[in-house]
Amino acid sequence: MTARIGVVTFPGSLDDRDTQRAIRVAGAEPVALWHKDKDLKQVDAVVLCGGFSYGDYLRAGAIARFSPVMDTVIDQAKAGMPVLGICNGFQILTEAHLLPGGMLGNDHLHFICRDQKLRVENADTAWTTDYTAGQEIHIPLKNMDGRYVADRRTLDELEAEGRVAFRYLDFNPNGSLNDIAGITNEAGNVVGLMPHPEHAVEPLIGTGRTDGLPFFTSILKKLVNA
Amino acid sequence: MSRTPLDTVEHAAATPDVELPWAELGLKKDEYERIVEILGRRPTGAELAMYSVMWSEHCSYKSSKVHLRQFGEKAPESDALLVGIGENAGVVDVGQGYAVTFKVESHNHPSYVEPYQGAATGVGGIVRDIIAMGARPVAVVDPLRFGAADHPDTKRVLPGVVAGIGGYGNCLGLPNIGGEVVFDACYQGNPLVNAGAIGVMRHEDIHLAKASGAGNKVILYGARTGGDGIGGASILASETFDDAKPSKRPAVQVGDPFQEKLLIECTLEAFKEKLVVGIQDLGAAGLSCATSELASNGSGGMRVTLDDVPLRDSTLSPEEILMSESQERMCAVVEPEKVERFLEICDKWDVIATVIGEVTDGDRLEIYWHGGKIVDVDPRTVAHDGPVYERPYARPSWQDELQADDANKLPRPETGEELKDQVLKLVGSPNQASKRWITQQYDHFVQGNTVLAQPEDSGMIRIDEASGLGVAIATDGNGRYAKLDPYAGAQLALAEAYRNVATTGAKPLAVSDCLNFGSPEDPAVMWQFAEAVRGLADGCKQLGTPVTGGNVSLYNQTGEAAIHPTPVVAVLGVIDDVARRTPVAFQEEGQLLYLLGDTREEFGGSAWSQVVHDHLGGLPPEVDLERERLLAEILISASRDGMIDSAHDLSDGGLVQAVVESALLGGKGARLVVPDGLDAFTFLFSESAGRAIVAVPRSEEVRFTDMCGARGLPATRIGVVDGDVVEVQGEFALTLEELRTAHEETIPALLA
C-alpha cells in the first residue's frame, strides 16, 4: 500500500517533473494535477512545486493562487490534507493565506542558486517527522524572491508556537527575517519553504546529497500509517 | 497624410522606375541588381525587405560560406551524426535510442546595446532552435567575453548580461551547466555573448524545417508580432508608405521567458501526438526566414495571408511584419485533419495559434496583404541563393613581429617567495578567479538531472534514469592563443573542450562552434577567420568529431580595432553511466597526484604572461591532437574502471591553477614535488596542451601507471592530496584560506 501525492502544474511551473520523481524515489505514487482542473483525483496530499507560475509577472504566486485547482487545495488544506509548498509553491501558499507572511525580492537583488545549510526547527509537521529537531541539513536553494517577511506580531507568534520549520544557517541568502527558510501552519499539515528538497533525493544528482528525501518519506509514512 | 497605393507585385511590374531604399537596408548595388534579375522586375517593398534581411551577413553567411564548406568536406566518418550542418541544430546519436541536439550561437551586438534583453533573447533563440529539432531542451551553457574587468563599462554590461541569461534561462527551467567568463580589453565595446543549448529526444522524434504536402496548413503560434527587432525595415515603411508612423522602434528584441516556457511544453505535446510535418522557429529575420526556409526545404510552394498574423501593434506595415524579430514565435506545418487538435493543445497552454497559410503545389512563395499579392518569389532565391563572397585575405604584416616577441624570454620568478606571490596574483586575477558570483545567478539544479555543473571541467546531464546514460558538454576558446596563431588557436580551443569532456569521463562525439571575429572587409581579419576555420576543420577530422553546426559572428570591432579572433568550440560527449563521472575536487587525503602528458617551456599567450607582464606575444602551445586523443582514452578508461577519483585538465594558468581549483573545491590541500627535469616555474605555470592531473587511490596506483605505460602516455607522480595547504616542496606553501581569499574575492569586489 502506498500513498498518492499530487503535484500541481501551473503554466510556468518548472519543478513538477522533478517533484514527481522525488515522490517516486521515496516510494509513493505521484499524480499530475492541472491548474485548470478543480479535481484533485483523490490524492492524499499535494505538493505545489517551484517555478515561475504565470511568469511571476504580477508578484510571485499572486496569479496562481486564483487558479481553479487552488479552490480545492485551499478547502482540503483547511480540512487537514497535507500540503507542501516549495519555493514558488511557498509563495502561492502565502498568497492563498494558508501560511502567514509573504516573500519579497532577495535583498541583494540577484537570483541566487546555492547549496544551503539549514536547521530543522520543527520535526513534528506532516512533512518533517523523518528529521530530528535541531538537525542540520543541506538543501539546494534557488530563487529571485525569497526574502520572507511578516509583521512583528506574526513573527512572534511563529516563534512562540514553534512554527518556524526551517532556518538558514551560516548565511542568510536573501535577507529573510529571523533567518526563516520555511514555516508551518498551526495544524502542521501545511508547510512551505524556499529551498528545494526535491533536488536533494539522489546521491549523484545536484549537490550529491539526499538531505531532502525525508520530506517525502515523512509524508509517505504518515499517510500509510493513517 | 497621403497613402501611396499598396506595393503589390502587379504595381511593382507596372512601376519599374520607383526607387527603393536598398542601400539603407544594407544591400550593395550589385546585390540589388541581382534581385531585379531574379525577379525579372523591381522587387516590391515586401520582397526587398525579405531579400535584404535574408541576404544579410547574419542570415546568409555570405563572407564565411566559402570557408565553412571545409566542415563538410573534411568531415570525419562518424556513425554518430544523425543530422548535420544546415538544419536548426545538428543531431547526434548517443545510444539506447536517444539522440542529442546541441548548438552554440552568438548574441554579441544586441548584448552590448542592451545587455539584459540582448543576452536573454540569445538564450531564447538557441532554445527554440533545439525545440524545432523535436527535442526537449535539457541544459544551457554560456561562453562570455567582456572588456577589462576593471573598466567602468564592464560593470554596465556584465551584470546585465548575467542577469539576462539567468532571468530567461532560470524561468524556462533549464539548468545552466557550463560556459566561460573571460575578460580582455580587446572585447571593450564588443562583448561576446554566446549561448549554447542541449536537447534530448528519441531517434524517431527528430523533426526538420520543411513544408511538404500541398494543402497542409501553416500555423504561426506563440507571441503576437510586434515592432521589436525590426531594424532596417522601418526605413522602408516610413519612406514608402506612411510618414506619420512612430519611427523609433527598439532594435533589440524583448524577451518573455514565460511565453517561451509555454511554447516548449505546447510544442513537445504536439510532437508527442505526431501532429507536426515540419517546424521552424522564428529568430533572426522572423517570418521572412521561417516562410522562405520552410518552403524552400519542402517539396512545394507556400501561400501566406499576412493579414492573419496576430499583431501586438496594429499599425505595422507588411514589410515590418515580415521582418519583425518578436520573440517566442514558431511556425508549424500541420496536415488539415490535425489542425484542430494542434489548436486545442495550444489553447490548453494558453498559446495563441493561427493558420496563416498553406503549402501549395507550385514552387513559389506567395504572400498576400489586404487582398493584394505583395510577394511572389522562388523561396530558394531568398533562403539559399544569397550572395557568396570570396573576400580577400592576407596574413597581417604585424603577425611576424607578434610571434617574434617571445614570452619565454620574459623575466621569471627566481625565489620561492616570488613564485608564491605570482601564484597568488594568478589565481586572484579576474580571468583565473572563481566565477561563483556569476554562476550562482544561474539555476544548476532544475530538472533534477544535473550531475556536473561549472566550475567542473564539463557540464554533465543524466538523460536516462534507469541506465544512467548521460551527456557532457564543454565550451572553450582562447582568443590570446588565436591572435598569436589562428590555425593553432582554433585547434587548441577544440583540444581543450575535447579534453574537458574526457576529463569528466565522457567520450567526445561531436562539435559545434561559434566563430567570433572582426570585420570580414579587413583582409587581416579574413585571414584569421580562414586560418581558424581551416584549423578547426583539420582538427575535427583528426579527432573524429564532426562539426554539426554553429554560428559565425563578424564585425566584432570598434573602428579599426578588431577583437582577438575568438573561435569558441563546444564538444559534446556521452557517458554510459553518470555514476562513473570524474569530478574536479580532491576527494580523499592520501591519494596520489599524477601529471599526465609532457610539460614544455610554453608561455606564449599564457595567463602568467598576461597577469604578471601584461604581455601577448610569441607562439601558443604546441598542438598534438594524437596526444589529446590518447590522453582522452586514458581518462575515460580510468573513470570507467574506477582508477581515479578526481581529474582536472590543465589549460590557462597551468598546473598550479588546476591544483588550486581542485584543492579549494575539495577542501583538501596538496603537497607537490617538482619532478626531475623541470624547474619549479615551468612546472607550475607552463600551459603545454595535452595534459591533466589526476588523483589516484593508492590501491589503484600500479594498475593506473601500468595502463599509462602500456599506452605510452607519460605519467609523472607529482605529489599527494594532503592537509590544508598547497605546498611546493622547497619553494613555498599557501594555506587554503589564503588561496580561497585570493581566488574568491576578486569578482565580487569588481562587480557586486
Looking at residue B210, which CATH number applies to its domain? Answer: 3.90.650.10
Out of B257, B258, B441, closest to residue A111 by CB? B441
Residue-wise pLDDT tens digits, B572-630: 999 999 999 999 999 999 999 999 999 999 999 999 999 999 999 999 999 999 999 99
Terminal Cα distance for chain A, rounded: 12
How does pLDDT run across B402-456, given as a tens digit for each residue?
Answer: 999 999 999 999 999 999 999 999 999 999 999 999 999 999 999 999 999 999 9
**Residue range B178-213, pLDDT digits in tens:** 999 999 999 999 999 999 999 999 998 888 777 788
Candidates B142, B259, B445, partner chain A, best to mutate (most A CBs within 10 A): B445
* Amino acid letter, residue B460: M
A to B CB pairs, distance under 8 Å: 90
Return the residue in B127, B446, B463, B646 with the most chain A beta carbons within 10 A, the one to mutate for interface testing.
B446
For residue A57, which residues of chain B lie inside 8 Å, CB to CB? 258
**B276 domain-assigned:** yes
Domain-embedded: residue B230: yes
> Is there a binding annotation on residue B300?
no
Q: Average pLDDT for residues B511-524, to the nearest whole number?
A: 95
- Does pLDDT of B691 surpass 90? yes
Half-sphere exposure of B336 (CA within 13 A, CB side): 8
Tens of pLDDT, residues A142-199: 999 999 999 999 999 999 999 999 999 999 999 999 999 999 999 999 999 999 999 9
Domains and CATH numbers, chain A: 4-225 (3.40.50.880)
Nearest to A55 among B258, B446, B581 (CB): B258
Query: Pairing mode, if any, of strands B592-596 and B715-721?
Result: antiparallel
Tell me whether residue B109 is annotated as binding: yes
User: Which residue is closest to A198 within chain B, CA to CA?
Assistant: B448
In a domain, B185, yes or no: no
* Chain A residues touching B161 at Cβ < 8 A: none
Domain-located, residue B581: no
In sequence order, the β-bridge partners of residue B689 are none
pLDDT at position B237: 44
Residue spans of alpha helices (H) in B133-256: 152-172, 233-240
Q: Who among A110, A111, A199 is closest to B448 (CB)?
A: A199
Residues in chain B within 8 Å Cβ distance of A199:
445-446, 448
pLDDT, chain A, mean:
96
pLDDT at B73 over 50: yes
**Chain B residues near residue A195 by CB distance under 8 angstroms:** none
Residue B228 lies in a domain: yes
b vs e for B507-538, b when ≥16 Cβ sit within 10 Å of the residue's Cβ? bbbbbbbbbbbbbbebebbbbbbbbbbbbbbb
Does residue B584 belong to any structural domain of this protein?
no
Identify the burial level of B344 via C-beta atoms within 10 angstroms of its C-beta, where 0-12 means exposed, 13-18 middle and 19 or more buried.
Answer: middle
The minimal CB distance from A51 to the residues B173, B256, B465 is found for B173
Distance (Å) from the alpha carbon of A167 to chain B's nearest alpha carbon: 21
Total domains in the fold of chain B: 1
**Catalytic (active-site) positions of A:** 87, 196, 198
Greater confidence (A202 vs B298) lies with: A202
Q: What pTM did the predictor assign?
A: 0.95
Burial category of B355 from C-beta neighbours within 10 Å (exposed 0-12, middle 13-18, buried 19 and up): middle
pLDDT score of B641 more than 60:
yes
CB contact under 8 A, A55 and B171: yes
**Which residues on chain B are in Cβ contact (under 8 Å) with A14?**
171-173, 261, 446
Q: Which residues in B lie closer than 8 A to residue A110 (C-beta atoms)?
A: 163, 166, 441
Question: In terms of residue numbers, what domain contains B245?
Answer: 9-63+205-383
B281 part of a folded domain:
yes
Any known ligand binding at B128? Answer: yes
How many Cβ atoms from other residues are within 10 Å of residue A144's Cβ?
23
Alpha-carbon distance of B141 to B471, in angstroms, equals 13
- In-domain check, residue B227: yes
Quickly state the pLDDT bin for B5 (edges 50, 70, 90).
confident
Mutate to test the interface with B, among A34, A110, A171 (most CBs of B within 10 A): A110
CB contact under 8 A, B440 and A112: yes
**Residues belonging to chain B with any Cβ–Cβ distance to chain A shorter than 8 Å:** 163, 166-167, 170-173, 256-259, 261-262, 349-350, 439-451, 462, 465, 578-579, 581, 752
